[in-house]
Homo-oligomer: A and B are copies of this chain.
């Protein structure tokens, strides 16, 4: 036992303590086996160990508890009153342990578990239609938490362990965060289908775009950092007529006027299909090389369920890649 082990540094012989901090599982095991078999020798035959081992272990248990646990007759052993109490406890402990194993196995078999996803706004549709719906249907007993957040928050939540898996567009990758899948998804200029820009040849030049009122996402989005970067290196000033932390607001903004906003095209699948919005490629390397990432915390052991979901996400990643030709 731990508390009986004498350490070298502080060797205090407090054996007079009434009860040990914890019961050695082997003591209990032999104790229960001996009582179950009716005699130490029978138990020793069953377990294929020497009778002396069992005898000694039981004695240690008795000494640790400071009370006699079994009656030693000439023909076997029987439990004393204290022994019965201990035996009942052991039995209960055993079934609890088996129940634990069952739960652990369920966790292994994806019949139990909790997965927390943190997703950049605009990816939820694609993720849901591409993977999540199917995955949830196949594992109805899993608890899946889907959290929409800004790109920076996605990274933060994954980093702090609040989310197991994150999907972010152009996030600032920091040490400790690992991108298990990436896909280049250019940042596009989003406009109404009737917008004059749609009549210009692609890719659009920055100058053409900047003639129109601009709607920008707020800071905290990976997109915004890309925009700021381009603003600096292109030596131009991006005047934002509207700044919002909601992509939906920006979509609304451009769909009801002739404004322009910068959003990854992948986030607009629905609107583009319905002909409500169009995504126009921009002639700038930074915009063109923007990437979306599926991220996890480095060296964080994921639960089996999270591992499985991650595998499915990456296998289908990027979700709309093949449809990209339609844009």
Could you list which residues of chain A lie within 8 angstroms of chain B, going by C-beta atoms?
A: 2, 7, 9-10, 18-19, 21-26, 29, 47-49, 65, 67-68, 71-72, 78, 80-82, 85-86, 89, 92-94, 96-97, 100-101, 103-105, 107-108, 113-114, 161, 299-301, 303-304
Contact = CB atoms under 8 A, between A and B. Distances in A.
Most-contacted residue by chain B among A10, A22, A71, A300 (CB, 10 A)? A22
A72 B161 CA distance: 12
B92 A104 contact: no
B9 A48 contact: yes
B22 A97 contact: yes
B89 A96 contact: yes
Contact of A85 (B21, B23, B100): B100
A7 B44 CA distance: 13
26 contacts: A2-B26, A2-B29, A2-B47, A7-B48, A7-B49, A10-B48, A19-B104, A19-B105, A22-B29, A22-B97, A23-B25, A23-B97, A24-B25, A24-B26, A65-B104, A67-B107, A78-B161, A80-B301, A80-B303, A81-B113, A81-B114, A85-B103, A85-B104, A86-B100, A89-B97, A96-B96
A54 to B, nearest CB: 11
A82 B303 contact: yes
* Copies of this polypeptide in the complex: 2
A139 to B, nearest CB: 14
Nearest to A88: B100
Contact of A107 (B22, B81, B97): B81
A81 B24 CA distance: 26
A304 B22 CA distance: 23
Given A24-B25, A161-B78, A18 B93 contact: no
Contacts of A9: 48
Nearest to A83: B301
Contacts of A89: 96-97, 100
A22 B47 CA distance: 14
A104 B67 contact: yes
A48 B65 CA distance: 24
Contacts of A18: 101, 105
Contacts of A72: 299
A19 B86 contact: no
B85 A92 contact: no
Given A67-B108, A89-B97, A93-B96, 9 more contacts: A22-B29, A24-B26, A67-B107, A67-B304, A72-B299, A80-B301, A82-B303, A86-B100, A92-B96
